[in-house]
């Protein structure tokens, strides 16, 4: 029986004990895009999620215009020009609740337990889901615009104003959604997420300039509206969509989502690591 040459034996030993090649992990951006696509596929396979996105904008826009337009502005046409930018903001703000709701639903079903065993960038499931929800925000805003156009709304800035308004709304909604993401990671059930989220949104949207001019309000309420982030956003959107943009108003509108992101994004990540 022939004995292997020393060099061949050494080569086999080195091959046997060599560390296996480690595959490079996907990058953070690729992971995030993958989970954003997952969020979109969830909408495709559960289209009932779009019910509120589609029905709520139509209901609120039509209801408030024809119920209060004549009394508040003298005509529904004049009131629609005032109301629709505010309805854009209210609709998108209401839609942000579903970011936290769907996240908590996935957590309660153990979906995120599967993600933690994957060789991925750890925050990708969270950030990707939030980015995927941007489509939901844009869609709800577009529905309001289309309904408004059918009812007689005419944006003074044309298509450019509409696009700029939707971009501003998406930025604001992304910042605001960090609040509901943190809430979803803190509480145990989706119904609790929904309840707490409405407690935040209802005062912000109704104690604002969405429906009426704050000049008609008591002095103490005018002071509240003057610092209400939703009211600041409505003011900025009205200027942009009607062709009279105010850089100062836009800057003030963007302060709130920046501060919310700075405060709640680290908190949400901390809660997310705790979940994991």
Distance CA 36, CA 191 (A): 24
Please list, in sequence order, all residues whose beta carbon lies within 8 angstroms of the beta carbon of residue 119, skipping any fewer than 6 positions away: 23, 25, 26
Distance CA 231, CA 224 (A): 10
**In the prediction, which pLDDT does 5 show?**
56
Spans in the chain with pLDDT lower than 70: 1-26, 45-50, 52, 275-276
Is there a contact between 116 and 184 (Cβ–Cβ < 8 Å)?
no
Closest CA to 153 of 224, 222, 65: 65
Q: Where are the domains of the chain?
A: 27-275
CA dihedral 133, 139, 145, 146 (to 10 degrees): -170
**In the prediction, which pLDDT does 253 show?**
94
pLDDT tens column, 128-145: 888 888 888 898 899 999
**In the prediction, which pLDDT does 15 show?**
64
Stretch (H or E) spanning 91: helix 76-95
Q: Output DSSP code: residue 79.
A: H
**In the prediction, which pLDDT does 164 show?**
95
**In the prediction, which pLDDT does 239 show?**
95
pLDDT tens column, 72-101: 888 899 999 999 999 999 988 888 888 888
Tokens linked to 197:
């989220």
The Cα-based distances of 265 to 8, 77, 182, 270 in angstroms read 57, 41, 8, 9
Stretch (H or E) spanning 174: helix 158-186
Rounded to two decimals, the pTM is 0.83
Q: What burial class does residue 274 get, using C-beta atoms within 10 Å of its C-beta: 0-12 exposed, 13-18 middle, 19+ buried? A: exposed
**In the prediction, which pLDDT does 243 show?**
92
**In the prediction, which pLDDT does 260 show?**
93
**In the prediction, which pLDDT does 122 show?**
80
**b or e along 168-203 (b: 16 or more beta carbons within 10 Å of the residue's beta carbon)?**
bbbbbbbbbbbbbbbbbbbbeebeebbebbeebbee
């Amino acid at each position: 029986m022939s004995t292997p040459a020393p060099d061949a034996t050494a080569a086999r030993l080195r091959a046997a004990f060599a560390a296996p090649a480690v595959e490079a992990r996907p990058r953070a951006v690729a992971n995030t895009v993958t989970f954003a696509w997952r969020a979109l596929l969830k909408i495709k396979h559960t289209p009932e999620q779009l019910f509120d996105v589609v029905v709520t904008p139509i209901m609120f826009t039509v209801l408030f215009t024809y119920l209060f337009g004549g009394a508040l502005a003298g005509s529904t046409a004049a009131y629609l020009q005032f109301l629709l930018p505010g309805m854009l903001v209210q609709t998108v703000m209401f839609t942000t609740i579903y970011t936290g709701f769907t996240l908590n639903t996935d957590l309660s079903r153990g979906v995120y337990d599967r993600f933690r065993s994957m060789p991925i960038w750890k925050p990708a499931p969270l950030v990707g889901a939030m980015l995927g929800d941007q489509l939901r925000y844009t869609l709800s805003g577009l529905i309001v615009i289309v309904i408004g156009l059918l009812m007689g709304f005419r944006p003074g800035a044309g298509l450019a104003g509409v696009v700029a308004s939707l971009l501003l709304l998406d930025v604001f909604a992304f910042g605001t959604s960090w609040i509901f993401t943190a809430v979803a990671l803190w509480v145990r059930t989706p119904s609790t997420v929904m309840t707490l989220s409405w407690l935040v949104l209802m005062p912000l949207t109704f104690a604002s300039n969405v429906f009426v001019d704050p000049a008609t309000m008591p002095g103490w309420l005018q002071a509240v509206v003057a610092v209400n982030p939703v009211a600041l956003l409505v003011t900025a959107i009205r200027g942009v969509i009607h062709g009279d943009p105010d850089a100062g108003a836009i800057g003030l509108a963007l302060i709130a989502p920046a501060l919310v992101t700075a405060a709640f994004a680290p908190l949400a990540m901390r809660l997310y690591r705790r979940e994991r």
